[in-house]
Amino acid sequence: MKTLDDLIGEGVQGRRVLVRADLNVPFDKANPGVISDDGRIRAVLPTVTALRDAGAKVVVISHLGRPKGAPDPKYTLAPVAVRFGELLGAPVAFASDTVGASARSTVDGLADGAVALLENLRFNEGETSKDPAVRGAFADELAALADVYVDDAFGAVHRAHASVSDIASRLPAYAGGLVLREVEVLKKLTGDPERPYVVVLGGSKVSDKLAVIEALLPKVDKLLVGGGMCFTFLKAQGHEVGKSLLEAEMVDTCRDLLERGAGKIELPVDVVAAEAFAADAAHSTVPADAIPADRLGLDIGPESVVRFSDALSGARTVFWNGPMGVFELAPFAAGTRGVAEAITKVDGFTVVGGGDSAAAVRALGIDESAFGHISTGGGASLEYLEGKQLPGLTALES
């Protein structure tokens, strides 16, 4: 796999470098157009800055949200271009299309060391098409805008999309610094991690994490389960879960996992149960085996935080993916905060597995530097840990 350092060593002065970034940032629901977490923009800055400093003409491409293969103002990258320029400390030219007249003129107008951002890749059906010919045609149009390609979008490497896997066969392709760092970290987790090795999983659904649980269970010393997914496990133990999130079809699977993971899997012993999914709903802490039938669990309780923290205290390797509760609502953020703070105190290698976990760290004001690594690719990280081949990485290795 060729790297960004290899490319810069070859010389990029005056060359058009197409950088696939993951700028799929969240926006403030109450203030459309206002970015609520710019972590993914910050993550690509080192690669873009290195190319700028080397005199490249940097053309950044990314997706945002899930538009249906056509322009949709709700998913424009225009606000991202503004924030990108602020963080970069230099103007970022914005093209109002991806491979059309605006993109071509914007790229043609770039000076050495300048940066442009093209409009949302998913405004073109070719980006995500299942038809290789349609996807390939779009990749051809993207490739015509540049001389070389750098993939620095780890959050997208598990997608067989035109800008991720197809384009790497059309231009000289290199891995950006972010992708290389992510792979280095995940190899540590899948190779021979220092023990004790503790994994913390949260989020809403067991089904979303089943494959990674299956892959990691034989390798870990402890698996701590919180978030909405814990209620399906509690149901598998025969407990009442009230109106809590429940995947009834996964109960038998969870029961089997608990049997195979006896002594390894730890569940909450108390939860914060509320009358409704709302910040102002009446709520109280109850035993995990005595959730009232008319309430739903929205966070792990304080005793669970203590027990999870104890399990983490002696760990040498930690991987955390998924919040412990609905951290976006203040009354139900204590579990996620408590576990996150316990991880920051671990004297070992700690990894935050991207997605909502990374968002929680920033939203709760926890020092990011206290973690060994914060991934930018939740889904990609999980698929790597599951042992899957990731199309974006395969393309770079070809």
- Give residue 201's pLDDT band: very low, low, confident or very high (50, 70, 90): very high
| Cα(333)–Cα(354) distance, integer angstroms | 18
| Cα(209)–Cα(212) distance, integer angstroms | 5
User: Which of 83, 74, 72, 87 shows the shortest CA–CA distance to 29?
Assistant: 74
Tell me the mean pLDDT in the region 103-127.
Answer: 98
Q: Report the range of poorest mean pLDDT among 81-95, 214-228, 357-371.
A: 357-371
- For 62-83, the pLDDT digits (tens) are 999 999 999 999 999 999 999 9
State the pLDDT at residue 33. Answer: 84
Cβ atoms within 10 A of the Cβ of 323, count?
A: 32
- Does 129 count as an annotated binding residue? no
Tell me the mean pLDDT in the region 191-196.
Answer: 94
- For 248-260, the pLDDT digits (tens) are 999 999 999 999 9
- Give residue 377's pLDDT band: very low, low, confident or very high (50, 70, 90): confident
Does the annotation count 238 as an active-site position? no
Which of 85, 314, 372, 379 does the annotation list as catalytic?
379
Does the annotation count 261 as an active-site position? no
- For 151-184, the pLDDT digits (tens) are 999 999 999 999 999 999 999 999 999 999 999 9
User: Which of 176, 186, 163, 221 shows the shortest CA–CA distance to 383?
Assistant: 186
- Does 353 count as an annotated binding residue? no
What residues have CB less than 8 Å from 254, skipping those under 6 apart?
A: 206, 232, 233, 235, 236
Which of 42, 83, 205, 219 does the annotation list as catalytic?
205
Query: H or E segment at 16?
Result: strand 16-20
State the pLDDT at residue 144. Answer: 98
Which of 355, 377, 378, 392 does the annotation list as catalytic?
355
- Does 357 count as an annotated binding residue? yes
Which of 16, 40, 222, 235 does the annotation list as catalytic?
40
- Does 258 count as an annotated binding residue? no
- Give residue 359's pLDDT band: very low, low, confident or very high (50, 70, 90): confident
The SS3 of residue 209 is helix
- For 267-301, the pLDDT digits (tens) are 999 999 999 999 999 999 999 999 999 999 999 99
What percent of the chain is predicted at pLDDT more than 90? Answer: 89
| Cα(114)–Cα(117) distance, integer angstroms | 11
As a whole number, the mean pLDDT across the chain is 95
- Cα angle 26, 27, 32 (rounded to 5 degrees) comes to 160
- Does 23 count as an annotated binding residue? yes
- For 300-351, the pLDDT digits (tens) are 999 999 999 999 999 999 999 999 999 999 999 999 999 999 999 999 999 9
Single pTM value for the model? 0.88
- Give residue 140's pLDDT band: very low, low, confident or very high (50, 70, 90): very high
Q: Are strands 349-352 and 197-201 parallel, antiparallel or unpaired?
A: unpaired
- Does 22 count as an annotated binding residue? yes
Does the annotation count 203 as an active-site position? no
User: Which of 310, 316, 309 shows the shortest CA–CA distance to 349?
Assistant: 316
User: Is 90 exceeded by the pLDDT of residue 29?
Assistant: no
- Does 122 count as an annotated binding residue? yes
- Give residue 6's pLDDT band: very low, low, confident or very high (50, 70, 90): very high
User: Is 80 exceeded by the pLDDT of residue 355?
Assistant: no
Does the annotation count 295 as an active-site position? no
- Does 63 count as an annotated binding residue? yes
Buried b (16+ CB within 10 A) or exposed e, 359-392: bbbebeebeeeebbbbbbbbbbbbbbbbeeebbb
Q: Are strands 270-274 and 283-287 parallel, antiparallel or unpaired?
A: antiparallel
State the pLDDT at residue 237. Answer: 96
- Which two tokens mark 129? 């098409």
State the pLDDT at residue 88. Answer: 97
**Do the beta carbons of residue 27 and residue 160 sit within 8 Å?**
no
